Amino acid sequence: MTTTISRSDLQAALGSANAPVLIEALPARYYVDAHLPGAINIPHDKIDETVKTILPDLDAPIVVYCANGPCNNSGIAQVALTKLGYRNVRDYHDGKQDWLDAGLPLQGQGALETSG
């Protein structure tokens, strides 16, 4: 089962006391160029080998995202995390492009160029 989160719900969650861990599920080069503020990078195909050392709490709120709606990386990452036992994983399906289109800031080397 896929559990998604909207941009407005994500913004509210990020400002809360129990803010989710944001995971960009794209390859490192895209993360370095521009990512949501505070996000960490775990590419979708590296979830199995790295996430348990970074996020040992299986109940931690997690939001995964990738480039945009047609990108499948965040959905793949969400399934992988759920199979590993994480119980509170949501997919920001519209991803980085939706965030940027809303005029919200990105971090990274190319963030100033992409967010205007």
Full DSSP string of 51-108: HHHH---TTS-EEEE-SSTT--HHHHHHHHHHHTT---EEEETTHHHHHHHTT---BS
Q: Is the pLDDT of residue 114 over 90?
A: no
What pLDDT shows up at residue 34? Answer: 95
> Residues 56-74: what's their mean pLDDT?
96
What pLDDT shows up at residue 115? Answer: 40
- For residue 24, tell me if it sits in a domain: yes
- In terms of Cβ atoms closer than 10 Å to its own Cβ (0-12, 13-18, 19+), residue 58 is middle
- For residue 112, tell me if it sits in a domain: no
- For residue 64, tell me if it sits in a domain: yes
Rounded to a whole number of angstroms, the CA Rg of the chain reads: 13
- For residue 26, tell me if it sits in a domain: yes
- For residue 113, tell me if it sits in a domain: no
Counted domains in the chain: 1
pLDDT tens, 66-106? 999 999 999 999 999 999 999 999 999 999 999 999 999 99
Percent of the chain with pLDDT over 70: 93
- For residue 18, tell me if it sits in a domain: yes
- For residue 39, tell me if it sits in a domain: yes
Domain containing residue 26: CATH number: 3.40.250.10
